Amino acid sequence: MKKIKIEESKANTFYVKGRGMPNGCQYCLQGSKTVLFLNGLCQKPEKCHWYCPISEERRDKLATYADEIKISAKDELIEEINAINAQGMSITGGDPLMESNFEKTIEFIKHVKKVKGKKFHVHLYTNGINFTENIANELVEAGLDEIRFHPPKSHWENIKKALNKGISVGAEVPVIPDKEQEQLLEEFVYYLDGIGAEFINLNEFEYCFPNSQFLKERGFYLKQGTVASVVNSQEIALDFIKRVGPNVSIKMHYCSIRAKDYYQLKSRYLRRARTIKLPYEEITEEGLLMYAQIEGKRENLTKFNDLLINQYKIPKKSINFVENAIKMPYRMILSEKFISLLKKYNLDCKILEIIPFREEDYFQITESTPITVFKREQDLYED
């Protein structure tokens, strides 16, 4: 039996040393992948409809999203790709290869490859139920780089139709902590290895509002201290890799919910923040944008603004005076001198953190802290 070593990535995922992880995962963990959610339509396979984590807002709906942004045209997808300086894109749903979705999927792949070039990495998720040789050929011709199957056992054979066509072929499935499901997973991995598939991506089983009742009815529970992890999913996944890994040569990669909901999002936010940052904003470690916002009567704000520019020589580009607020770098306003001036002109100041979006529908303040509280907390932290 071959010996294997399991390595942990910086983003809390695990893989077999020496085999690496799928290319799509590497882009994802770097935050350099735009997620194209084609729509919420799929065939509702019996094997997985009960644990589907798609939100009610998207499930069975025709709406298309690029990351968090709802889009209605291919060029809007390109805008989002550029906003995060993406190097790749994943296509998900629903099922992008469902008969009613297929033409749209091909159009998106062709458009992105035309605009961003052949090296721009595109991977796609499908349950593979209606996968055919013709579909495989059209995807290859359009420029698809990687495909990930999540098929019922009755359709495992369809995976073979994607092999030997110049694209990376593998599977992505959740690790369900149930003996019967574990046995089926083991059989599936041996099958994939036997046909020459490149990888199996194992996901931590997700517990969320849309599927919570179904999971409770089947005896699955939320892991204490987590937001969405099902009890024992990660433990079983890592044990599974240790046990089965030595017997196969396929890439085996386990992705935790923390990796998906924290590291991927954080990395994507950081990329977006660098693209859209304004002179008065600072990027936090979480990829948020941070600045000071001063509010009060217009006449008092005008006097304060003039003072900042004329007496304290703060560059105009570092100050955004609009309507009844002045936005400026928060570090500039923390001195006792400026705090005294705020009191003198009867102005309020808060330190804001926002997610890196300008669009009104997606703009969100994550923290709003009065300057006196913020300064007190910072002084305590520095001490």
Span 142-190, pLDDT tens digits:
999 999 999 999 999 999 999 999 999 999 999 999 999 999 999 999 9
Q: Which one, of 5, 3, 6, lies nearest residue 234 by Cα? A: 6
Tokens of 285: 């470690």
Residue 376 pLDDT greater than 90, yes or no: no
Relative to beta strand 282-283, strand 289-295 is antiparallel
Rounded CA separation 205/97 (Å) = 24
Residue 14 in contact with residue 241, Cβ under 8 Å? yes
Q: Which one, of 251, 321, 327, 324, lies nearest residue 293 by Cα? A: 327
Q: What is the reported pLDDT for 66? A: 97
Q: How confident is the model at residue 377 (pLDDT cuts 50, 70, 90)?
A: confident
Residue 217 pLDDT greater than 80, yes or no: yes
Burial grade of 92 (CB within 10 A; 0-12, 13-18, 19 or more): middle
**Which residue(s) pair with 29 in the sheet?**
none
**Which residue(s) pair with 199 in the sheet?**
170, 251
Q: How confident is the model at residue 1 (pLDDT cuts 50, 70, 90)?
A: low
Which helix (H) or strand (E) segment holds residue 110: the answer is helix 102-116
pTM exceeds 0.85 for this model:
yes
**Which residue(s) pair with 140 in the sheet?**
none
Complete DSSP assignment for 31-71:
T-EEEEE--S-----TTTGGG----TTTTT---EEETTEEE
Tokens of 1: 């039996």
Q: What is the reported pLDDT for 5? A: 96
Tokens of 359: 């669009």
